[in-house]
């Protein structure tokens, strides 16, 4: 028993249920010094019949982990964690960061038929749940997928979050797929980050002509991933360089900021061309304005931008990461057929998590920062 509470009937993970595990957690929001290693993190428990417990072999870091460490989006995420405000005293802490996992199923809830203990799987855990910088993590069965057979756990852990973010932007929001992408001109802004390297390979696999914008030291990587044109944003005025090229059918913007002011002019007008941005004010609006006003402000912004651009003959959309086992199944097929490869910048051991955060914070990564959780270094 923990803290004198009666044991929860029918929800114990197994007869050998443990009560603690090693994890990296934060107890408050802030800079890198808030990261704390503990051996006493509460062991995850299956609360719903569709859940599984995964033994984490590898995890990876994404910009959202930096944002969450600093407290960005806390208002919205806490509403999602506890929508009915049932926990009056408890906070979200200690909070485990990390969204990506590649590992092995340890336990399955009663209604999970698709997986069994021992299966090698990968997943991206949504940001309102406890993360993957931990020995074990709990996930919904519908967030999980079989890991691509051709990848190691370390390689596989680099892909789910960025893969699903790119998939959401390109396929679900942007409407591109295997059958309609051939010959389309696609521009990817911020192409050398995790989402960018995935998106370049995805639309290339579907037959698009890809123009990638990145810094000069990433241009060799872009060529290797199949980009047709590589534009160095440091070599002169980016807007002028892009205006020299033929117009585009689709733009994916990982950069945001002032780019939006001119990038939409690079789309073909009145042809169904679409601009999708991953830089959305949704969470920051809720932090600044509170839940109701934040949602309202976001709705007004996206509504007015959408209408403004529709009148100019182009589609303006926002995309978000969406957890999805079925989408990961499709991504796994592309990986196993050799069309998408992981792009890994550096691998850290589990003891080096703060170092990995500093690396990510330094920016200019070429691909992903991965944590080998199993290594005991």
Count Cβ atoms below 10 Å from residue 377 Cβ, excluding itself: 8
Domains and CATH numbers, the chain: 20-159+342-372 (3.90.180.10), 174-318 (3.40.50.720)
pLDDT for 9:
43
Backbone angles phi, psi at 178, to 5 degrees: -60, -35
Give the side-chain half-sphere CA count within 13 A for 13: 22
Question: Could you tell me the strand order of the sheet in which 185-189 lies?
Answer: 229-232, 209-214, 185-189, 250-253, 274-277, 315-318
Give the mean pLDDT of 228-238.
93
Residue holding tokens 């399955």? 108
pLDDT digits (tens, 9 = 90+) for 26-42: 999 999 999 999 999 99
For residue 188, which of 247, 233, 250 has the smallest C-alpha distance?
250
Query: CA 71, 76, 79, 81: dihedral to nearest 10 degrees?
Result: -60
Gap between the Cα atoms of 45 and 172, Å rounded = 32
Give the mean pLDDT of 367-376.
90
For residue 371, which of 95, 31, 131, 71 has the smallest C-alpha distance?
131
Q: For residue 299, is pLDDT > 60?
A: yes
Percent of the chain with pLDDT over 90: 76
pLDDT for 307:
85
The mean pLDDT of the chain is: 91
pLDDT for 300:
77
Strand pairing report for 185-189 and 144-146? unpaired
Gap between the Cα atoms of 146 and 329, Å rounded = 7
DSSP string of 348-371?
EEGGGHHHHHHHHHT---SSEEEE
User: Computed from CA positions of residues 96, 101, 107, 108, in that sequence, does the dihedral angle turn out positive or negative?
Assistant: positive
Gap between the Cα atoms of 190 and 377, Å rounded = 34
* Cα angle for residues 46, 51, 55 (degrees, 5° grid): 80
Q: For residue 139, is pLDDT > 70?
A: yes
Gap between the Cα atoms of 168 and 351, Å rounded = 33
Confidence band of 302 (pLDDT split at 50, 70, 90): confident
Give the list of residues 6+ apart from residue 205 with CB closer than 8 angstroms, or none: 334, 339, 340
Do 168 and 348 form a contact (C-beta atoms < 8 A)? no
Give the mean pLDDT of 192-208.
97
pLDDT digits (tens, 9 = 90+) for 74-116: 988 988 998 887 776 678 999 999 999 999 999 999 999 999 9
Gap between the Cα atoms of 192 and 221, Å rounded = 8
Give the list of residues 6+ apart from residue 122 with CB closer than 8 angstroms, or none: 100, 101, 102, 103, 144, 145, 146, 147, 148, 156, 157, 159, 160, 328, 332
pLDDT digits (tens, 9 = 90+) for 253-272: 999 888 989 999 999 999 99
Q: For residue 143, is pLDDT > 80?
A: yes
Give the mean pLDDT of 164-176.
97
pLDDT digits (tens, 9 = 90+) for 337-353: 999 999 999 999 999 99
pLDDT for 4:
54
């Amino acid at each position: 028993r923990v803290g004198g509470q009666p044991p929860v009937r029918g929800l114990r993970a197994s007869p050998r249920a443990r009560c603690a595990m090693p994890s990296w957690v934060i107890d408050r929001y802030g800079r890198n010094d808030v990261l704390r290693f503990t051996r006493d993190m509460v062991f995850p428990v299956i609360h719903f019949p569709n859940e599984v417990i995964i033994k984490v072999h590898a995890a990876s870091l994404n910009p959202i982990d930096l944002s969450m460490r600093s407290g960005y989006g806390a208002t919205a995420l806490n509403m999602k964690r506890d929508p009915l405000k049932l926990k009056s005293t408890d906070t979200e802490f200690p909070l485990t960061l990390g969204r990506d996992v590649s590992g092995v199923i340890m336990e399955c809830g009663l209604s999970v038929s698709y997986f069994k203990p021992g299966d090698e799987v990968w997943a991206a855990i949504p940001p309102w749940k406890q993360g993957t910088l931990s020995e074990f993590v709990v996930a919904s069965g519908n967030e999980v997928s079989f890991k691509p057979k051709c990848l190691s756990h370390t390689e596989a852990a680099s892909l789910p979050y960025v893969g699903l973010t790119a998939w959401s932007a390109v396929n679900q929001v942007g409407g591109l797929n295997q059958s309609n992408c051939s010959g389309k001109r696609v521009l990817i802004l911020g192409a050398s980050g995790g989402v960018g390297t995935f998106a370049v390979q995805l639309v290339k696999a579907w037959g698009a002509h890809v123009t990638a914008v990145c810094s000069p030291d990433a241009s060799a990587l872009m060529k290797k991933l199949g980009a047709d044109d590589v534009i160095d944003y440091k070599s002169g005025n980016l807007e002028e360089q892009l205006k020299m090229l033929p117009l585009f059918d689709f733009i994916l913007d990982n950069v945001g900021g002032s780019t939006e002011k001119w990038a939409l002019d690079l789309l073909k007008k009145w042809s169904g061309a679409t601009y999708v941005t991953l830089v959305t004010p949704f969470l920051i609006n809720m932090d600044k304005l509170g839940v109701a006003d934040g949602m309202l402000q976001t709705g007004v912004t996206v509504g007015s931008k959408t209408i403004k651009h529709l009148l100019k003959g182009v589609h303006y959309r926002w995309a978000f990461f969406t957890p999805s086992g079925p989408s990961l199944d499709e991504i796994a097929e592309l990986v196993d057929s050799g069309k998408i490869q992981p792009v890994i910048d550096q691998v850290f051991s589990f003891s080096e998590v703060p170092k990995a955060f500093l690396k990510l914070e330094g920016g200019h990564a070429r691909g992903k920062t991965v944590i080998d959780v199993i290594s005991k270094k």
